[in-house]
Amino acid sequence: MNTQNEVLITTVKAEVDLLKNKFVDFDGNLPAASAKTFGVVQADTTAGNQAPVMAEGIAIVISGAVISKKAAVTTDAEGRAIPFTDTEAINGYALDAATGAGELIRVHLK
């Protein structure tokens, strides 16, 4: 079982319904694909409420694709971790591999 290591958890007002273990942007929305994110949502949060967000540490994130262990990751438009390519913002590094979408992996946030 993978575990988290919370270094900094803060809050952001959810502008949309947010799901646990997905990236969120700095304004409380789902991030644009390949964008730099604020952190990872720590609890399902309905729009208008304060969402707990891990901004630093090792977070559990839902994968959106196949990811290799140690790979740099970014986000898709659903807030899931996907592999980084050279034109995207790095949001962290995978500490676990994912064989496809929907898996929970640890990501060292950057």
pTM assigned to the model:
0.95
3-class secondary-structure state, position 80: coil
What is the CB neighbour count within 10 angstroms for residue 4?
Answer: 17
Q: How far apart are CA 23 and CA 25, in angstroms?
A: 7
At 18-68, the pLDDT tens digits run: 999 999 999 999 999 999 999 999 999 999 999 999 999 999 999 999 999
Count: domains in the chain = 1
**Residue range 84-107, pLDDT digits in tens:** 988 789 999 999 999 999 999 999
Task: State the Cα–Cα distance between residues 81 and 71, nearest whole angstrom.
Answer: 11
CATH of the domain at 9: 2.40.300
- Going by C-alpha positions, the residue among 42, 33, 34, 36 that lies closest to residue 5 is 42
Using DSSP's 3-state secondary structure scheme, residue 21 falls into coil
